C-alpha cells in the first residue's frame, strides 16, 4: 500500500510520519523522501504493509503533519486513462498491448483520434475508439467535442500518445497535471514542430524523447522521463523518425509506470520522481 | 554530516531513528533507507545538519536501535587510500588527477607497483611510489613485503587500479571489504584472465567493466558498479583493450566516489548502494 | 537494391566489385565492406540503384570474384518468418504489432506455441497460431511435429521469441543460421536457465539480453545484438524479469531488422553487422 | 596509412578509387565511404597498406577523381595541438595524461590560459603554459596576443578545453575547422552561458555535452560527438556541474580521437564521422 506526502519542510517530519506508522503498528517496507532545500519542500513516498482503515491513517497523518500537507494513503490503486492519438501507431500499440496483458498499471478506458487510422487497432483490443476530427473546426469546438465525449468516461490521466495538436490553456486547465505528453525531442532542444527535421539540419549526434506533463506553455511542462539514442551522418530525417519511435515508446511507457505507481510529484514546474 | 545504519529489520526503525534526530533538534536533509525483505535487513544513510556531539548522537542511536545495529555517525570524513598497480596508467592517472585537485573524496597516501613503470607519474604528483617486485618470490613473501611497506601508512581503502596479481585469502582477510578492484569484464562473464581476448573470440557486442570489493573468491566479491560499452566486428583484441580502458576508469572512479561518500553497504556478498 | 558478398580476401576486391557496377552503369549508393585480417575474409554490403537484370549482375559479380565467393544480388526482399513461443507475450506482441503495421521488414507466416496462452493475441492479428505441446513427448517427437506443421509454410527465418525449450542439434541443423533466439542475459554471463535469478544472487548492477543465431551449443551461437540496463539492490528477481523484458524486446527487434535487411554475415561463429 | 577523399558524387567513384589502388598493388584494409544523396557529396576514408610514394599515389587519385576532389594521402600523421583553457582542470588533465603516455594521437605543443590556475599541472607534465589574461583588454587585443604567442608554435588543431571566452569571427576564420570546442550541454539545448543552471531550472532528466568545431556562430558549429547522462531531482546545479564534467571529458577526447585519426569530414555545417 502506497502513501504519498508533499508539504513544506520542517524539522522532524520523518519522525512525525514514522511515529504515526509505528502507532498503528504499520511496517514501512520502503520509504523514499526528498527535501528540496532551495524551495523548502518535503516529498515522501512510502510503501507500507496493507492497513485496513485508510481513512483513519489518512487523518492521523494529516493531523501529525503541517496543515498544508498533501497526503494520500493508497491513492487510486486502479488508475484509468484515456489516450489521444493522431496517426502514428507505435506509442498507442505499446499501451494497448500492456493494457491487454494487464501490465500497464492502468486501464485504457477509451482512445480518441483526430483521424480514423488507429480505430482498427483499438477494435482488435476491444478498446473504444472515437474519431473526432479537428478539420473545419476552431480549436474550442474541437476540444469541446473531446470533453463531451469524455464526459461519460471516468479517468485519472489523459495520455497524448503522439497527438499532434496543441491543446488550449482552457482545456489543459481542466486536467491539471493529468495530461502526459510524449515529445519527440530532447527538450528544451527542438521545442515545437518538426524536431527530427531540425535535428537533421543541425547535424546532432543524438536524438531524444521527452515525456512530460502538459501545461499552458508548449513543451514547457514538468519533465518526467527523457531518453536519447545515437544517430550519425547516415541518418535521413525519416531514419531519425524511425529510430526516434523506439525511444518515444520507451520513454512514454516508463513515465506512465512512474505516474501510475504514484512515484511522481510536481512542484514549481519540475518533477520529483522516486524511481 | 553523514549517518549510516545497518541492522536486522523490525517495525518502527525509521521512527526510532527519526525521533532520536528530532530529540536533538537535528534536521534530516536526506534519508535513504532500504529494507531487504528476503534477508530481513535494514540499511539507512542520512545526511543531517552538522551536530557537535558525535559521540552523544552515536550512543543515542545505538541505544534506540537493535543491539546488532552497526551505526556510524560522521564516518571518517577524510578517507585515506593506497593504490596497487602494475603497468597500466589509465586508472591510476585518473585517481592521481582527482587526488591532486582534491575531488577524489580521499587522499592517496601511497602507490605500490610490482613494476617501476608508474613511478614517474606518481613522482610528478608528489605521491610516494614503492616498487615491490613479485618476481622470484612466492606469494606470501610478496604480500608480506606489501604489508610491511604499508605498515607506516594509515589508510581506509586499498584500490587495485589494474593490479594484475591475485591476492591470497590471508592478505584479503586483513582488509575486509576495504579492497576495491576493477575487473575488465562484465562479471560474471569472463572471470579471470584475458577477458578481452575471450570477449573477442566469443564475438560479444558489448564489453564491460566491474568495480567490486575483493573477497577470497577471484572476481566473486560484492559488485559496486558495472558499465558496458558497444563494440562490433571491427574491434580487434587491442581495440577492445583500448575501448575498455575508458569504462574501467569511469566505473572505478564512480565506485570509489560511492564508497568514499559512505553510500555502499555490504551484506551477503552483495552491495546496497544509495546513489 | 541490396548486394551482399562474402569471400576470401585478396587485393583488388573492391575494385573488382566496383568495376562490375560501373560496367553496368549501376550507381553504388552505399557500400560497406570489412576485411577480417586474421581470418583473411572479405565482407561487403552494397545498396545500389535498382537494376533490372538481377541474374546478369549476379553472374558478372560471381565471375569477377574468387570462386568461393557467396554473392547475393537482391536477396529475398520479402522475408517470411515463423515465430516459436511459450507463454511470455512481450517479444511476440512487439513482432505482431510491427508485422501488422508492415514495419517489421518481414511477414509472420505462423506462430507455434507449446502452450495455448498466446493463441488469442495471434488471433487478434489474424496470424495463424498452432499449439504443439511438448508434454509427454520426447524431444524428437515434439520437434517432428513442429517440422511437420511448418512443412506447409515457406519461411526464411525462425524466431524464438522466448521459446523456453532447447532444440536438438538435428532440428537446428535443418535451419542453418536461420534460427534467431533472444536470451535473457548478457551472454556469456548466465548461460542456460534462470539467468535473472542468478543475476539477482550475484548482485549484478546491470542485466542484459542477447539476440543470437542458434547453433548446436546452447547459447553459444553467433551474437547479433546485446543490450544492458542498470539495476540496483532494490530489484527483486521479478523486478529484474520485468525490467529485462524491455531490453529482450528491443534487442530482438533490432537484431531482426539487421537480419531482414541483409546486414548480418556469419563467419567462424561470429557476426559481421553492417549497422 | 590513411587516405581521405571528399568530392561531388558521381557513378563509378568507388571503382575509380579502387582501380588506382589495384594499379599500384595497394591492398585496401578498410574502406568506409558515404554518399550524401541530398547534397550529392561523396566521402571516403581508406586504410591501406603502407605505400612508399605518397605523392605519386596522391596525384594518381587526384587525376582519377573529379577536379573538385579533396584528396589526402597519409594526412599529417603526427598531429600537433594547442589547448586553450580557463580554470577547470578536468578536460585539460585528461588531454595531458594521454599526451604524456602518447595515446592522445597528437602532441600538445602548448597550453594557453587566461588565468594562471592550470600552469602548475602543465608544468608537472613539461608542457609549456602561457598565461594571457583577457582582463582590461578588448577582444581583439586579447586574441592578438594569443595569435602572437602561437606564432612560434606549429599546430594542426586548437582545442578549447573549457575555454570560457567567445572568440571573434576574425580569430575563428584564421583556423577554419581547426578549432574544437567542448560545450557543456546537449546542443542545441542551452546554447550560450550557464547551461547547467538553465538545465536545473528546466528540470531536465538528462544533461549533455557536445564537442564541435567552432564557427562564427556561437555553439552553432558542426557537431562531432554528443553524450548525455541521467540526472534527477536530487541534483543541484553544482551536482550537475560535477556530473557533467565526466561527459565533457569523455565527449571531448572521443571527438579528438576521431579528428586526429582523420575520421571527420565537414560539409554544410555538419560532420561525417567514420567511427
- The answer to whether residues C120 and C205 belong to one domain is yes
Q: Is C153 helix (H, G, I), strand (E, B) or coil?
A: coil
Question: Residues 6 or more apart from D136 whose CB is under 8 A from it?
Answer: none
Q: What is the mean pLDDT of residues A158-183?
A: 96
Domain, as residue range, for A33: 2-74
Instruction: Order the strands of the D157-160 sheet from edge to edge.
Output: D129-131, D106-113, D79-85, D157-160, D179-183, D206-213, D223-230
Last residue of a domain, one of A13, A48, A74: A74
Best CA proximity match to A147, nearest among A186, A107, A175, A188: A175
Q: How many residues comprise chain A?
A: 275
Considering chain D, what percentage of its residues have pLDDT values greater than 70? 100
Considering chain B, what percentage of its residues have pLDDT values greater than 90? 85
CB contact under 8 A, C34 and B222: no
User: Exposed (0-12), middle (13-18) or buried (19+): which is D31, by Cβ within 10 Å?
Assistant: buried
Question: Residues 6 or more apart from C192 whose CB is under 8 A from it?
Answer: C218, C219
CATH of the domain at A169: 3.40.50.170
Q: What is the mean pLDDT of residues B9-18?
A: 87
pLDDT over 90 (residue B68): yes
Which range (C27-36, D42-51, D246-255) has the least confidence?
C27-36
- What confidence score (pLDDT) does residue A140 get? 95
Model pTM score: 0.95
Closest residue in D to C34 (Cα–Cα)? D30
User: Distance, in angstroms, between D96 CA and closest chain B CA?
Assistant: 10
Q: Is the Cα torsion angle C244, C249, C253, C254 positive or negative in sign? A: negative
Residue from B92, B95, B97 whose CB has the most chain D CBs within 10 Å, to mutate: B97
- The answer to whether residues A111 and A236 belong to one domain is yes
> In chain D, which residues touch B (CB < 8 A)?
30, 89-90, 93-94, 97, 100-101, 103, 121, 124-125, 234, 242, 246, 250
User: Distance, in angstroms, between D124 CA and closest chain B CA?
Assistant: 6
- φ, ψ of residue C36 to 5 degrees: the values are -85, 100
Tell me how many degrees the CA angle A62-A65-A69 measures, rounded to the nearest 5: 70
CB contact under 8 A, C101 and A89: yes
The per-residue pLDDT for range A150-160, each reduced to its tens digit, is 998 999 999 99
CB contact under 8 A, C234 and A93: no
- What confidence score (pLDDT) does residue A215 get? 94
CATH of the domain at A62: 3.30.70.260
Last residue of a domain, one of A46, A74, A102: A74
Considering chain A, what percentage of its residues have pLDDT values greater than 90? 85
Give the H or E element holding residue B197: helix B195-202
- What confidence score (pLDDT) does residue A38 get? 86
3-state DSSP of D140-183: HHHHHHHHHHHCCCCCCEEEECCCCCCCCHHHHHHCCCCEEEEE
Q: How many domains does chain A have?
A: 2
The per-residue pLDDT for range A199-235, each reduced to its tens digit, is 999 999 999 999 999 998 878 999 999 999 999 999 9
| pLDDT tens for chain C, residues 1 to 275 | 999 999 999 888 888 998 899 899 898 888 888 889 888 999 999 999 899 999 999 999 999 999 999 999 999 989 999 999 999 999 999 999 999 999 999 999 999 999 999 999 999 999 999 999 999 999 999 999 999 999 989 999 999 999 999 999 999 999 999 999 999 999 999 988 899 999 999 999 999 999 999 998 878 999 999 999 999 999 999 999 999 999 999 999 999 999 999 999 999 999 999 98
Active site residue A219: yes
Which of C14, C15, C30 is the closest to D35 by Cβ? C30
- The answer to whether residues C60 and C95 belong to one domain is no
CB contact under 8 A, A186 and D206: yes
- Chains touching D (at least 3 CB pairs under 8 A) are A, B, C
Best CA proximity match to A250, nearest among A221, A192, A211: A211
Question: Is A3:A64 a contact under the CB 8 Å cutoff?
Answer: no
Residue from C38, C189, C223, C269 whose CB has the most chain B CBs within 10 Å, to mutate: C189
Residue C113, CA atoms < 13 Å, CB-side half-sphere: 20
Closest residue in A to D34 (Cα–Cα)? A234
CB contact under 8 A, D101 and B89: yes
- φ, ψ of residue D30 to 5 degrees: the values are -140, 150
Residue from A98, A102, A124 whose CB has the most chain C CBs within 10 Å, to mutate: A124
Q: Is D247 helix (H, G, I), strand (E, B) or coil?
A: helix
Residue from B233, B252, B271, B272 whose CB has the most chain C CBs within 10 Å, to mutate: B233
Q: Count Cβ neighbours within 10 Å for each residue of A152-179 and write b for 16 or more, e otherwise.
A: eeebbbbbbbbbeeebeeebbeebebbb
Chain C contacts of B234, Cβ < 8 Å? 34
pLDDT over 90 (residue A27): no
CB contact under 8 A, D25 and C11: yes
- The answer to whether residues C118 and C225 belong to one domain is yes
Closest residue in C to D36 (Cα–Cα)? C29
- The answer to whether residues C190 and C211 belong to one domain is yes
- The answer to whether residues A192 and A111 belong to one domain is yes
Which of A89, A103, A125 is the closest to C124 by Cβ? A125
Q: Is A89 helix (H, G, I), strand (E, B) or coil?
A: coil
CB count within 10 Å of CB A50 equals 8
Q: How many CB pairs under 8 A join A and C?
A: 25
- The answer to whether residues C105 and C223 belong to one domain is yes
- What confidence score (pLDDT) does residue B243 get? 96
User: Distance, in angstroms, between D29 CA and closest chain C CA?
Assistant: 6
Question: Is D47:D29 a contact under the CB 8 Å cutoff?
Answer: yes
Catalytic residue among C219, C232, C239, C262: C219
- What confidence score (pLDDT) does residue C119 get? 98
Question: Is C43:C69 a contact under the CB 8 Å cutoff?
Answer: no
Pairing of strands C28-36, C41-48: antiparallel
Q: Is C159 helix (H, G, I), strand (E, B) or coil?
A: strand
| Helix, strand, coil share of chain B (percent; to 5) | 30, 30, 40
Catalytic residue among D217, D219, D232, D239: D219
- What confidence score (pLDDT) does residue B11 get? 81
Closest residue in D to A34 (Cα–Cα)? D234
> In chain C, which residues touch D (CB < 8 A)?
11-19, 21-22, 25-35, 37
User: Distance, in angstroms, between B110 CA and closest chain A CA?
Assistant: 38
CA–CA separation, C73 vs A26, rounded Å? 69
pLDDT higher for A216 or D157? D157
CB contact under 8 A, C273 and B34: no
Q: Interhelix angle for D195-202 vs D237-260, to 10°?
A: 120
Which of B222, B227, B233 is the closest to C34 by Cβ? B233
CB contact under 8 A, D233 and A206: no
pLDDT over 90 (residue B30): no
User: Distance, in angstroms, between D35 CA and closest chain A CA?
Assistant: 9
- The answer to whether residues D162 and D34 belong to one domain is no
The per-residue pLDDT for range D200-220, each reduced to its tens digit, is 999 999 999 999 999 988 789
- C230 strand-pairing partners: C206
- The answer to whether residues A107 and A28 belong to one domain is no
DSSP-assigned letters across all residues of A172-233: HHTSTTTEEEEESSSTTTT-SS-HHHHHHHHT-SEEEEEEEE--SSTT-SPEEEEEEEE--T
- The answer to whether residues B107 and B217 belong to one domain is yes
Chain D contacts of C33, Cβ < 8 Å? 30-31
User: Distance, in angstroms, between D141 CA and closest chain B CA?
Assistant: 32
Q: Is C15 helix (H, G, I), strand (E, B) or coil?
A: helix
- The answer to whether residues D18 and D131 belong to one domain is no
Last residue of a domain, one of B11, B42, B74: B74
- The answer to whether residues C138 and C193 belong to one domain is yes
Catalytic residue among B219, B232, B239, B262: B219
CA–CA separation, C236 vs C241, rounded Å? 9
Which range (A13-17, B42-46, B244-248, C261-265) has the least confidence?
A13-17
CA–CA separation, D249 vs B174, rounded Å? 37
CA–CA separation, A173 vs A176, rounded Å? 5
Amino acid at each position: 500500500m502506497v502513501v504519498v506526502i508533499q508539504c513544506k519542510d520542517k524539522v522532524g517530519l520523518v519522525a512525525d510520519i514514522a511515529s504515526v506508522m509505528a502507532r498503528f503498528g504499520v511496517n514501512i517496507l520502503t520509504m523514499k523522501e526528498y527535501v528540496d532545500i532551495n524551495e523548502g519542500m518535503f516529498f515522501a513516498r512510502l510503501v507500507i504493509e496493507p492497513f485496513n482503515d485508510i481513512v483513519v491513517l489518512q487523518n492521523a497523518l494529516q493531523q501529525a503533519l503541517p496543515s498544508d500537507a498533501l497526503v494520500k494513503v493508497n491513492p487510486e490503486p486502479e488508475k484509468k486513462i484515456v489516450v489521444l492519438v493522431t496517426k502514428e501507431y507505435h506509442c498507442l500499440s505499446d499501451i494497448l498491448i500492456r493494457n491487454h496483458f494487464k501490465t500497464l498499471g492502468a486501464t485504457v478506458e477509451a482512445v480518441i483520434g483526430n483521424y480514423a487510422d488507429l480505430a482498427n487497432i483499438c477494435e482488435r483490443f476491444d478498446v473504444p475508439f472515437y474519431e473526432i476530427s479537428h478539420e473545419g473546426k476552431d480549436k474550442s469546438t474541437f476540444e469541446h467535442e473531446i470533453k463531451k465525449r469524455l464526459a461519460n468516461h471516468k479517468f485519472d490521466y489523459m495520455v497524448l500518445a503522439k497527438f499532434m495538436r496543441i491543446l488550449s490553456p482552457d482545456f489543459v486547465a481542466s486536467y491539471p497535471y493529468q495530461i502526459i505528453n510524449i515529445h519527440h525531442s530532447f527538450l528544451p532542444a527542438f521545442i515545437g514542430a518538426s524536431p527530427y527535421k531540425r535535428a537533421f539540419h543541425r547535424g546532432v549526434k543524438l536524438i531524444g524523447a521527452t515525456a512530460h506533463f502538459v501545461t499552458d506553455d508548449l513543451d514547457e511542462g514538468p519533465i518526467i522521463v527523457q531518453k536519447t539514442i545515437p544517430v550519425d551522418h547516415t541518418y535521413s530525417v525519416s531514419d531519425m523518425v524511425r529510430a526516434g519511435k523506439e525511444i518515444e515508446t520507451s520513454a512514454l511507457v516508463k513515465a506512465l509506470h512512474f505516474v501510475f505507481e504514484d512515484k511522481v510529484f510536481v512542484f514549481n514546474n519540475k518533477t520529483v520522481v522516486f524511481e
